[in-house]
Structures are given as structure tokens and as C-alpha cells.
Amino acid sequence: MHEVTLSAPEFGTWQFVAGQSVRLFVGNGLRTYSIWTLSESTLVLRGFSHADGPGSEWMASAAPGTRVALTSPKGVFVVDADAPWHLFVGDDTGAVPLLAMRSSLPSSASVHGIVVSRERMSPDLPWVSSGSLLDAVRSLDLPSTPGVAYVAGEQKACLEVRDHLRNSLGWPRRAVKVSAHWTPGKRGME
Ligand SMILES: Cc1cc2nc3c(=O)[nH]c(=O)nc-3n(C[C@H](O)[C@H](O)[C@H](O)COP(=O)(O)OP(=O)(O)OC[C@H]3O[C@@H](n4cnc5c(N)ncnc54)[C@H](O)[C@@H]3O)c2cc1C
């Protein structure tokens, strides 16, 4: 995982809700990255470097002085302030928006969740280093009534968790938000 800090005076004028993302113009295409933090003039991204795609290459090679064009923050994968409780589930890439969203909640919020990733990014959510997202969710001791779930990472793994919550636990459709970040064989997920 590479952490990249971008600087621009324009960042101070941007509106941002935790969970949103920006698009970088890298190589010949666009790649989307969730915002880890955004302050007055600094934007921090965390890119998982897995292969030789343009996004991974850019994240691994960015150095002081590297310039990149990007879009302003967008996205509806954000916390539901009215949720009775929150469930965060994701992989290495999903952990970026999920931990930002989790940090944006007040300390009184009821939070459950788990991250399946090679390394632990933050102590704010429980973490395991291997296994499927579905097994990780099944291992949790959750409240008996539905909350709002935020599931982010590899597409098929996210959909398995979504189907489990909806079909096995009877959660309403709108109570499960999915952000598919990547899937084997597909380049970019824009
Ligand atoms: C809303 C949104 C938010 C995102 N936020 C983040 C983020 O915060 N951090 C982040 O790292 N990525 C994030 N992504 C994924 C990111 O946009 C890129 O798709 C990813 O970095 C891969 O880009 P690439 O150009 O290196 O590879 P691509 O050209 O897209 O893909 C090349 C090959 O690598 C495989 N691949 C892609 N990603 C992975 C992976 N994680 N593990 C294993 N194989 C993979 C693909 O299946 C493909 O076969 C997000 C995506 C979306 C849609």
C-alpha cells in the first residue's frame, strides 16, 4: 500500500464527505482512489499496488515533484447519518474509504465491522489477514436487527456479503451499500 500526498491550493475550496473519491488521469486512462484525508491544501490517497496497471504504477512511482491531473471529490458511498448502527466490511482497497467513514462518525455511534487485508491500516476496525469477506462477516457478533452496511473491495466478494445480509439475514435492499473497486480480469472500474 502506497500513501501519496498531493498538494494544491484548490483543495481548500473542495467540499468532501468521507467515503468519496477522486479520479486520477494516469497512463492513458482514469483510475479512481478514495480520499484518505483532505485538508486545506493537502489530499492523501492510499493506493494498493498489486500489478502493472497504470494506477498501481503511478502509486508506486509517485515522488516529490510528480504532477497529476484529477477530478474533485464525488460519490454516494458515504455514511447514513440516520443508521441505527453501522457495519463496515472491506478488503485492502475498501479499507481506505471505510476507515475514513468510520473516523467521521461521532464517538456515540454504534459500529461493527471487519477488514480483510494484508496489513492493518488502523486500529479503528477489527482486522484479519486472510479469508473471504463473507467468512469474516459471518464471524461477527452482530445486533439482531438491521443497521446500514458499507461493503467495499473486490466486486464478487462484496456481492457475496450483500447477498448474505439481504437474503440470509433479511436486511432491506437500501440498507446495504456496495462500492466495487476491482475484480479479476477487469481494468479499471469506472
Ligand atoms: C470508487 C472506487 C474507489 C477506489 N478506491 C481505491 C483506493 O482507495 N485504493 C486503491 O488501491 N484502489 C482503489 N480503487 C481501485 C482503483 O481505482 C484501481 O482500479 C486499482 O488501483 C487498479 O488500477 P490499476 O490501473 O493498477 O490496474 P487495472 O488496469 O485496473 O487492472 C489490472 C489488473 O489488476 C487486477 N487488479 C486490480 N486491482 C487489484 C487488487 N486490488 N488486487 C489484485 N488485483 C487487482 C485487475 O483485475 C486487472 O486484472 C477504487 C476504485 C473505485 C471504483
Selection from 86, 93, 149, 152 nearest residue 117 by Cα: 93
**Close Cβ partners of 188 (under 8 Å, ≥ 6 residues apart):** 29, 30, 31, 32, 53, 55
User: How crowded is residue 10: how many other Cβ atoms within 10 Å of its Cβ?
Assistant: 9
Residue to substitute in 68, 93, 119, 121 for testing ligand 1 pocket (most ligand atoms within 8 angstroms of CB): 93
Instruction: Write down the pTM of the prediction.
Output: 0.97
Give the residue-averaged pLDDT of 69-82: 97
How many other CB atoms are found less than 10 A from the CB of residue 162?
20
Distance CA 33, CA 5 (A): 12
Quickly count: other Cβ atoms within 10 Å of residue 119's Cβ: 9
pLDDT band at 51 (very low <50, low <70, confident <90, very high): low
Tell how far the Cα of 13 is from the centroid of ligand 1, in angstroms: 28
Q: What is the pLDDT of residues 141-186, one digit of tens each?
A: 999 999 999 999 999 999 999 999 999 999 999 999 999 999 999 9
As a whole number, mean pLDDT of residues 78-93 equals 97
The full set of domains in the chain, from first to last, is 2-61 (no CATH), 86-182 (3.40.50.80)
- What ligand 1 atom has the least distance to the C-alpha of 52? 26
Question: Which cell numbers in the block locate residue 143?
Answer: 445486533
Over residues 36-42, the mean pLDDT reads: 94
The predicted-structure confidence for 109-151, as pLDDT tens digits, reads as follows 999 999 999 989 899 999 999 999 999 999 999 999 999 999 9
DSSP state of 156: H
- What are the pocket residues of ligand 1 if the criterion is a CB atom closer than 6 Å to any ligand atom? 21, 31-34, 46-48, 50-51, 53-56, 93, 96, 179, 181-189
Question: Which of 36, 2, 178 minimizes the C-alpha distance to 104?
Answer: 36
